[in-house]
Structure 1
Amino acid sequence: MKTISRNSIISLFLLTSIVSYYYSCTQLEEQQLDTPSSYPNPSLKAQPNILWIVAEDLSSYIPAFGDSTVVTPNLDRLAKSGVCYDNFYSPHPVCAPARASIITGMYANSIGASHMRTGPWYAGAATAETISKYNELQPDGLEAYEAVPPAEVKMFTEYLRAAGYYCTNNSKEDYQMIKTPTAWDDSSNEAHWRNRPKDAPFFSVFNLMVTHESKIWAKANDSLLVDTNMEVPIPPYLPDTEIAKNDIRRMYSNILEMDAQVGEILHQLESDGLLDNTIVFWYTDHGGPLPRQKRLLYESGLEVPAIVRFPNEQLAGQRDDRLISFVDLAPTMLSQAGIQPPKHMQGQAFLGKYARQNEPEYLFAASDRFDEYTDRVRSVRDRRYKYIQYLMPEQPMYADIAYRNQMPIMQELKRLQASGKLTPEQALWFRESKPTEELFDLENDPHELNNLAEVPKYADKLKELRSACNEWKTALDDTGLIPEKELIARFKPNGIQPQTAQPVIQKNDNLTAITCTTEGASIGYKLYHKSENPDQMSWSVYTKPFAISEGQELQVIAQRMGYQLSEIEVYAL
């Protein structure tokens, strides 16, 4: 996708802001979807196109989810023509573990990926220099490592590609391990469905960075797209000061830029004549950018807005209040493409051919190390109550993380704390130790300020959710409970990252087969004529033997997630 200039963003915002405000969620139909069977076939063909637009670090600060502070015409139109999901959750309150769950359909704390972050595993960013710099900054002698999921776990896009989908990612990866060569046709700043072979179905992801936490301070000197004196809602755990208000205004201004970017992507889709052959997802990668949101297992760190627009506006204007987790995204994408999700995935499809028939009773979440600060926290919620379990209660509630301290509103909170001027609600975050457990009534206490864990009236609910949390940890074989140095030693025996075995090419009669002795390794291949440049080709997913014509050459490669990549093998007929 082309970079959108600031002037274009402002122009687009000014033009689209005249759209009537009746597009806000207060005017959307309040009809709830009864069951998954309420969903018609969402595609006009067997393999619908699927588009994800993923904003970063954002809670439900848009009109479609009840916040009318700013008008977001593009998201409002998307909501009016689609379905809003009112209980959509990240299982991890920060990006890298959340993205590990998204790409695998697994909880990050079940595959060794729950620490933020395990290395500089961005798109193309893992070089010897960046790894060395990462190691220098780690606490207690930790070093960069890739999470090593069980052998059966793969990046779910590989299943889509094997079924004929053209899969692109523009362009953030950050999966806690380097992507396998078979994961994407293209993962880069240039990745776009427009580059696909003619008539191929596509799965395309666009990651919008403008709402990221860092943009609160990085854009501090930019002009606001909102009134500089605009009144903004302030949750009780944040200070009601001008410094705080300025950062919150910046957040809303960034939301407007993001909305314009959404509009540009949708405009491209529509101008290509693809809107009504495409299922469009818009959601955010975890909770909000402000203090006591991102990194915490409160609703402000986990709950995200999500909208899905189906072809021909099926189910337009409806709302879905089922409990949905990011671990459900991978199986849902496969289900929508007509592919049966593999049994190892911990999530369940909530749409499509293989949609679940029974809805979950609970949603689970976990947090572990954040940059230089190690902690262990687990949570579970049902439709009304949230239980949080602190496994290192001797540590302060507040984690003093250098990255977050760059935000002026965070500096303001620390200034007020040092001068003894925090309100009781704000001071809760700065307790010098944590309780072992918290229980909240989300219906009556949406900001999670009143701990009910020691109130006798709620003893049965406390016991129920505590048991559910403990059973979940046991069922997962929770890797976040293992000291991180021990986890690294498990993944890197003798300090060495495991190596994927070299793929073996075997010619049998007229067919060529490729094998790899590393359990769980994905095999990629490039089949081309000598006149073609294989460096300009993506790796195809090997699924079965195929024929090679005279004059063609073959390159093969193999990698298991978390292992070192094999060398390229070349075969010429």
Structure 2
Amino acid sequence: MNSIKLISLAALATSLMPSWAAQKQNKPNIIFVISDDHSVPFLGCYGNKDIKTPNFDKFASEGMTFTRTYVTAPQSAPSRSSFFTGRSTISTTMSMFSLPLPGNVITYPDILKEHGYYIGVTARSHHQDGLKRNKDIQQAIERNDMATFGRRFDYHRIGGQPLPELKVFLDKAATEGKGKPFYVQVSFYDPHRPWDKNAIPEPHDPNTINLPDNYPDNALIREDFARHYDEIARMDTQFGLMMEELEKRGLADNTIVVFVGDNGSALLRGKGTLYETGINVPLIVRWPGKIKPGSYSNVLVSGEDFAPTLLELAGYKADPKMTGHSFAHTLLGKAGTDRTWVFSARGAHAEDLPVTTKDFDLIRAIVTDRYKLIYNPVRELPYWPVDFSHEPFWLDLVEQNRTGFIPREWKERYFSERPMFELYDLKNDPQELHNLAGLKEYAEIEKKLRDTMAEKMLVDRDYVPLPFYSLDKEYK
């Protein structure tokens, strides 16, 4: 008799459970996976037939692959800040690179936590608490109590490899989270330089891979490129094991998994630049039963867009200060308004002096469905690559340039002063080799892009002079 009463009371309690609690139990988990320095098209599912990525290719067959995702900055720290905040790097003061994310800037994990999510960040650094490798800078940050990002999370552990770190987080979510839905960002170290010559048991053959059309071709460059593919292949193996772990734990069906690159690969005209290799990154999203398997989308996506999108998928509103556009309708196959342009900006890199573009630049870019405008306010700064200026293939190019034995197109591309503006027709010139800026037949397009860029810079309170000049006069 007593047991019957207890059961009835339990049933009654369940029936009277507040609606928010019932909804919370059905909320999707979210795993946000980031590769470090990784451009389109360096996965098999993007049509690259040379690279060994069976697990990412399988993942793509189970979700939606985006071809035109652009980060807000061609460097890790500022780009990742936009992932979190749904805002540009300029508006949140994160373009300096060394700065921590201000404590009063709302992130989407903050909002998820307010609604009952157990939230975490793990593996490779999130880069949101300032530069760690410079002792003096770090001490200044600590003295002023600026490193507050880690305090936002229920679980915050930086270091270690993604697969074991994900396992630890999932254990914590099950015990400390006590049945709450969870969110976690897991970041890979791959394929960040330096590239390991022994990354995988069967390395890619430098002699058989196809280099991009705009790339110099020699043995040193081929060797370097093959090692890049090896690191992506190593990441592919680990990613596959991470997805298997979700299956083993029975979490796969109700978990949104996002895979995205934080910025472009450290290649020529890649990381640190606003060319396609610098800011166009892979994006694949899987949510079984919700996102059509094996689907592709060519809609424009910005690094600002992840915050409002994931909040919408979880059933919550974005913070009013978030400037990103949700692409949840695209993921769910519903009608909606797509972006018509994306914006990207470059600032300081690490803590070195502004001697070359390796350490500092102020380039801005607007990308539409067809065109890209790049604005080079400090065009006099010589191009110097981020993260590979010591590599043999680059030193060889430098020596060729010094001795005058470099092909003219390579000299113009890597060793000549940049123009103030660059305009590219990405449909007819995807390698961005033919600058159309200043040509009368493209004057209307150029003006529209400059106006769009200027408005974005105004809204974000950018500190760089606005991109205006007279189209009928030569700018100097």
| TM-score relative to the length of structure 2 | 0.80
1:184 to 142, 153, 177: 153
Match of 2:31 in 1: 51
Task: Give the secondary structure class of the aligned counterpart of 1:215.
Answer: coil
Contact 1:228–1:249 (Cα < 8 Å) also in 2: yes
State the partner residue of 1:368.
Answer: 347
Superposition pairs of residues 34-113 of structure 1, within 5 angstroms:
46-59=26-39, 60-113=41-94
Q: What secondary structure does 2:361 align onto?
A: coil
CA contact (8 A) 1:105 1:346 kept: yes
2-structure distance, mates of 1:334, 1:103: 11
Where do residues 458-497 of structure 1 align in structure 2 (5 Å cutoff)? 458-479=442-463
Q: Is contact 1:103–1:175 with CA below 8 Å preserved after alignment?
A: no
Counterpart in the other structure of 2:408:
424
CA distance in 2, matches of 1:52, 1:146: 21
Aligned residues of 1:238 and 1:413 also touching (Cα < 8 A)? no
Give the aligned partner of residue 414 of structure 1: 398
Shift of 1:416: 2.4
Q: Does structure 2 retain, via aligned residues, the 8 Å contact 1:97–1:114?
A: yes
CA distance, structure 2, for counterparts of residue 205 and residue 405 of structure 1: 30
- The answer to whether 1:174 aligns with 2:174 is no
Query: Which amino acid in structure 2 is aligned with residue 73 of structure 1?
Result: P
In structure 2, the CA distance between the partners of 1:185 and 1:225, relative to structure 1 (3 Å rule), is farther
- Which amino acid in structure 2 is aligned with residue 162 of structure 1? E
Q: Deviations over 1:435-476 (max 9, x none)?
A: 110100111111111100122211111111111111111111
Change over 3 Å in CA distance of 1:52–1:187 after alignment to 2? same
Alpha-carbon contact 2:61-2:293 (below 8 Å) kept: yes
1:86–1:222: structure 2 CA closer, same or farther, 3 Å change rule? closer
The aligned amino acid for 1:317 is G
Q: How far did 1:159 drift?
A: 1.1
Structure 1 residues 154, 379: closer, same or farther in 2, change over 3 A? same
1:239 to partner: Cα distance: 2.5
On the 8 A contact 1:111/1:479 being kept in 2, the answer is: no
Query: Corresponding residue for 1:514?
Result: none
Contact 2:28 2:314 in 1 (8 A): yes
Residue 433 of structure 1: aligned partner: 417
Q: How many residues align?
A: 406
Letter in 2 for 1:174: H
Alpha-carbon distance change, 187 to 423 in structure 1, aligned in 2, over 3 angstroms: farther
Asked if structure 2 preserves the Cα contact closer than 8 Å seen for 1:328 and 1:348, the reply is: yes
Q: Percent identity?
A: 29
Distance in 1 between residues matched to 2:369 and 2:205, nearest whole Å:
38
Pairwise CA distance, 1:230: 4.1
SS at match of 1:332: helix
- Alpha-carbon spacing, 1:440–1:176, altered in 2? closer, same or farther (3 Å): farther
Q: Give the direction of change, closer, same or farther, for the CA distance of 1:94–1:390 in structure 2 (3 Å limit).
A: same
Per the alignment, do residues 227 and 377 of structure 1 end up closer, same or farther by CA in structure 2, a change over 3 Å counting?
Answer: closer
Q: CA deviation at 1:68?
A: 1.0
Structure 1 residue 211 corresponds to structure 2 residue 191: yes
| Whole-angstrom distance in 1 between the partners of 2:74 and 2:185 | 20
Aligned residue number for residue 340 of structure 1: 317
Structure 1 position 295, deviation (Å): 0.5
* Deviation by residue 1:478-536 (Cα, 9 ceiling, x = unmatched): 14669xxxxxxxxxxxxxxxxxxxxxxxxxxxxxxxxxxxxxxxxxxxxxxxxxxxxxx
1:225-256 deviation digits (Å, cap 9, x = unpaired): 32445412222443311111111110111111
SS at match of 2:365: strand
- Post-superposition Cα deviations, 1:141-182, rounded to whole Å, max 9, x if no partner, equal xxxx54547x4x223211111111111212321025434354
Alignment of 1:347-362 (within 5 A): 347-351=324-328, 357-362=336-341
Using the TM superposition, give the Cα deviation of residue 326 of structure 1 relative to its aligned residue in structure 2, in angstroms. Answer: 0.8
Mark the CA change 1:181 to 1:245 in structure 2 (over 3 Å): closer, same or farther.
closer
Change (3 A) 1:223 1:274: closer
Q: Unaligned regions of 5+ residues in structure 1, if any? A: 1-42, 119-144, 483-573
Q: Does the 8 Å contact 1:173/1:179 carry over to 2? A: no
What secondary structure sits across from 1:289 in the alignment? Answer: coil
Please name the residue that 1:253 is paired with: 230
Q: Structure 1 residue 361: deviation in Å?
A: 1.3
Amino acid at match of 1:183: R
The aligned counterpart of 1:163 is 115
Q: Which whole-Å CA distance do the structure 1 matches of 2:416 and 2:219 have between them?
A: 27
How far apart in 1 are the matches of 2:74 and 2:289? 34
C-alpha distance in 2 between matches for 1:97 and 1:406 = 24
Compared CA separation, residues 291 and 176, structure 1 to 2 (3 A): farther
The 2-side partners of 1:227 and 1:99 are apart by: 30
Report the equivalent of 2:140.
none
Name the counterpart of 1:296: 273
**1:160 and 1:147 mapped to 2: Cα distance?**
18
Cα distance in 2, alignment partners of residues 446 and 421 from structure 1: 27
Counterpart position of 2:384: 399
Task: Quote the offset at 1:312 in angstroms.
Answer: 3.3
TM-score in terms of structure 1 length? 0.67
Q: How far apart in 2 are the matches of 1:331 and 1:465?
A: 25
Cα offsets for 1:345-384 (capped at 9, x unmatched): 0112211799994222111110122243332111101100
SS in 1 for 2:272: coil
Q: Is the 1:237–1:425 contact (alpha carbons within 8 Å) kept by the matching residues of 2?
A: no
Q: How does 1:528-567 map to 2 (within 5 A)?
A: none
CA drift at 1:410: 2.2
Q: Which of residues 254, 257, 267 is equivalent to 2:244?
A: 267
Residue number among 193, 197, 202 corresponding to 1:220 in the alignment: 197
State the 1:313 CA deviation: 6.7
Is 1:385 aligned to residue 371 of structure 2? Answer: yes
SS in structure 2 at match of 1:238: coil
* Whole-angstrom CA distance in 1 between matches of 2:206 and 2:302: 37
| Cα deviation, residue 316, structure 1 | 0.7
What is the match of residue 209 of structure 2? 232
How far apart are 1:223 and its partner, in Å?
6.2
Please state whether the residue corresponding to 2:432 is helix, strand or coil: coil
Alignment of 1:319 onto 2:288: no
Secondary structure in structure 1 of the residue aligned to 2:285: strand
Question: SS of 1:265's equivalent?
Answer: helix
Instruction: State the one-letter code of the partner of 1:72.
Output: T
Where 1:405 maps in the other structure, the secondary structure is coil
Mapped partners of 1:295, 1:360: distance in 2 = 24
Partner Cα distance (1:157, 1:412) in 2: 46
Cα distance change of structure 1 residues 103 and 313 upon mapping to structure 2, 3 Å threshold? closer
Aligned equivalents of 2:62, 2:71: Cα separation in 1: 24
